Amino acid sequence: MTIDELYAAIDDKQPPAPLEDLASFERAIGHTLPDDYRQFLVACNGGHIGGSLWFKGPTPEGLAADAGLHHVGGFREENYFSLDDKRKCYAGRIPAALVWVADDPFGNAICVGVNGPHRGRVYFWDHENEPGDDWDGAVESAGNLQLLANSFTEFVAGLAPSGED
């Protein structure tokens, strides 16, 4: 799937993302967003997929994956689409090197790396296996993350309608 095809599949989209909101968000997280994801946001300010698209893999390690898309984030008033609301909700739960960009139909998160070796990479965050109170906040020690793709473009390329592999 291409990014244009993903854009076409999203319901309730509101293009474009306001550039002032995008710049404010990047200031808040202390990093610019990866270029391919940033360009997607400028074209599509979030919306609804409802579990109709799934990433099955292979991951960069050659593993199978099972990550669906439900809500796709943007700069929207609805909290289930809001990148800023999700950033605040998941503070201290999702590593600071990652930002929530979407969720699956079961409440798990799809995240994009914004700095260091994780920049641009896309991860699945499992809410049922969150680390304990002694967690150091690092991606490597979270224990509930699966690397899905090395870029947002690669992640989107691995999406297919549910029921297709």
The parts of the chain modelled with pLDDT lower than 50 are: 165
Burial class (CB in 10 A: 0-12, 13-18, 19+), 69: buried
For 35-73, how does the pLDDT look when each residue is reduced to its tens digit (9 = 90+)? 999 999 999 999 999 999 999 989 999 999 999 999 999
Position 74 scores a pLDDT of 95
Whether the full predicted model's pTM is greater than 0.85, yes or no, is: yes
Q: Which two tokens stand for residue 39?
A: 């360009």
* Burial grade of 114 (CB within 10 A; 0-12, 13-18, 19 or more): buried
Q: Which two tokens stand for residue 73?
A: 């984030």
Task: Say what the pLDDT of residue 14 is.
Answer: 82
pLDDT at 162: 86
Both structure tokens of 130: 């969150």
Amino acid at 74: G
Q: How far is CA 85 from CA 73, 82, 126, in A?
A: 10, 5, 19
Tell me what pLDDT residue 57 has.
87
Q: What is the reported pLDDT for 164? A: 55
- Which of 8, 83, 86, 16 lies closest to 52, judged by CA? 8
Give dist(CA 62, CA 73) in Å, integer: 27
Could you give the domains of the chain?
Answer: 3-161 (3.40.1580.10)
One-letter-per-residue 3-state SS of the chain: CCHHHHHHHCECCCCCCCHHHHHHHHHHHCCCCCHHHHHHHHHCCCEEEEEEEEECCCCCCCCCCCEEEEEECECCCCCCCEHHHHHHHCECCECCCEEEEEECCCCCEEEEECCHHHCCCEEEECHHHCCCCCCCCCHHHHCCEEEEECCHHHHHHCEEECCCC
